[in-house]
Amino acid sequence: MPLTSKQQKRVDAASGPRKASMRAAFLRQNAGSKTGNAEGMAPGKGKGNKPTPNRRLPPPAGQALASPSQPRRIPNYLDPMCPCPAPTVTSDGRALPYTGLDSYDFQVDTTNYTVLLATNTGDSGTVGAVFKVNVNGGYISNSMRTLTIPALAAADNAGGASSSRAMKFSVSVVNCTNNLKRGGRVTYINSAQRLPTMRTDVATEFIDVIDGIKASPYRRRINGTDLVTPKQLIGFPVDGTVYRQFVGHQGTLSHIELFGRIMAAGPSITPEPRPMSAVAYIFDPATDEQDYSVTIRAAYYTRWPITSVPGQKMEAIPTADPHFVNAVHDHVESTANEMVHVAEGGALATVLPKVANAVRTYAPNVFGRAGAALEAALPEVPAAAEAFAPLLL
C-alpha cells in the first residue's frame, strides 16, 4: 500500500539517512493495516492506523460461524453411519475397514412371538437371526432366518478375509404396516449381559429367553406405532480384549453358533467370546398382522491375503488419546437403549474440550478428507470448562 500524503511529507522532511528507514517503517505499517495480524485484528482505523480487534474473521465458505460458547464436537464413531473408522489406543498394525448390512422383511402375526437377536461377532458376517415361537416358548418350525452380510459370508479358507475383528454395529427396525392397523407391543434391550439359554424341552425351548428379556430392568417397552420412522440401536464393546483381537474369519454361522455369542451356557449352547453388546427384540402377537423391516449394519477391520486386491488396500488402524476413546465408548454404553433416528447416524456428540483437542490433533491424519473437514468444523470453547456437557446423539 503506498504512502499517504502526510507520510510522504514526513519522509521528504527527514534528513538523508533517515528517509529510507522511515519510508520502510511506513510501508510496513500500511501493509499491517490492510491485512490485519495473526491474532485476527481487523484493518487499522482512525488516527495512526492502529489496528482494532475484530469480533471474528469470516468462516471459510460453506462453514457456519460458531458461537464462542458453543462446545466442540466429536463424531460418534461407533455408529456404522459415521464414516470415521474406530481408533484404538495403541497401534494395531494395518487392516481394511469394511461396513456392510443385511435387511429382512418379516411379519408379526396374531398368535406367535417374533424374536430378533443381533450382534457383531467380529469373526463372521452373520449378524442376526429372526424366528417365531408360540406363547409357550416353543419354536415354530421353519421360521428361522439368519442374516449375513454378503461380502463377508465366505470363510478364510473359501476366499474370504484371512482374519477380522469387530468395529461397530447397529440395528434399525421399521414398522411398515398400514396406518389403520399399526400397533402391537414391542420389548427390546441392548445388553452387555448374556441372555438366558435355551431349554431342552422343545415345547418351551425359548420361554426363558423371552421371560428373561421382559423381566430385565434394562429393557424398554414400546408400541409398534413408535417404529414408524427408522430408528436404530447402536452396539458398544463389552470386552476390550476380544473387541481388539483379530481371529480367523469364519464367514457364515448357523443360528446355534450365533446364539453361542448371545446366550449363556446350556445343553445346546456353547458360549463363545463376544466383542460387542447383543440387541434383542420381542414382538408380541398383535391384533392385526404387522409388517416390519429390519436392517443390521456392521463394521469390521479385516485382513486379507497379500496377493488379493483388498490385501493391497490395507492401511494403518488409527490411534487416539484414551480420553477420547473412553468418552465415546462410555457415551454409547450409557445411552445403549436410547433409539436414535437413522438420519442422525454419525451425528456429532458434545464432549469435554481436552477430548476435542485430541480429535483436533489426530483427525486430519487418520480420517483423511473427512477428518480434515471435521477438524475445521470444531468450534471454540471456553478453556476453563471443567466438566462434560450433555452428550448428544
Instruction: Determine which of 41-55, 96-110, 114-128, 239-253 has the lowest per-residue pLDDT on average.
Output: 41-55
Asked if pLDDT for residue 235 goes beyond 60, the answer is yes
Asked if pLDDT for residue 382 goes beyond 50, the answer is no
What are the extents of the domains in the chain? 5-49, 63-91+318-393, 92-316
Asked if pLDDT for residue 305 goes beyond 80, the answer is yes
All three cell numbers of 67: 458461537
Asked if pLDDT for residue 165 goes beyond 80, the answer is yes
Asked if pLDDT for residue 38 goes beyond 50, the answer is no
Contact 377, 65 (CB under 8 A): no
Asked if pLDDT for residue 379 goes beyond 90, the answer is no
Asked if pLDDT for residue 64 goes beyond 60, the answer is no
- pLDDT for residue 57: 54
* Mean pLDDT of all residues in 132-153: 96
Asked if pLDDT for residue 389 goes beyond 70, the answer is no
| Architecture in CATH for domain 92-316 | Sandwich (2.60)
Check: pTM over 0.75? Answer yes or no: no
Contact 103, 295 (CB under 8 A): yes
pLDDT digits (tens, 9 = 90+) for 182-214: 999 999 999 999 999 999 999 999 999 999 999
* Average pLDDT value over all residues in the chain: 82
- Tell me how far CA of residue 216 lies from CA of 119, 159, 219, 314, in angstroms: 18, 41, 5, 42
E strands within 245-377?
247-248, 278-283, 290-303, 315-316, 340-341, 348-350
- pLDDT for residue 75: 77
- pLDDT for residue 21: 80
CB atoms within 10 A of CB 358: 19
Asked if pLDDT for residue 323 goes beyond 70, the answer is yes
**AA letter at 37:** N
> 3-state class of 21 per DSSP?
helix
Residue 204 main-chain phi, psi, to 5 deg: -130, 35
CA–chain centroid gap for 152, Å, is 20
